[in-house]
Amino acid sequence: MAGSEEQIVVHVDPDLKEFVSEFLGRRQEDVLALREARDRADWEAIRRLGHRLRGSGGGWGFDAITDIGRHLEDAARAGDGGAVHEWTNELARYLGCVIIA
């Protein structure tokens, strides 16, 4: 994380804490998959990934991931590559700033 980046502290359910790093690692993989799908203009793959993010983020205590997923899903439906790029970058930025408490 760059020194100028903010830290985002997320309090997670103690029962989930041991699994959170794996969950976040999979979201890093999603960033790569989103970028690849955008390069192919595969809007359906982006929509599915956005839908999955929207559905899983809040359950783990990461409401921002839910919001980003919703925006990605909407951008994919609209075929808006610029918005997909922005929201994918926002997901990557968020993942780089999040601290688990």
Band of the pLDDT at 49, cuts 50, 70, 90?
very high
Conformation bin of residue 99: beta by default, left when phi > 0, alpha when psi is -120 to 50: beta
> Do 52 and 65 form a contact (C-beta atoms < 8 A)?
no
pLDDT per residue over 8-48, tens digit each? Answer: 999 988 888 889 999 999 999 999 999 999 999 999 999 99
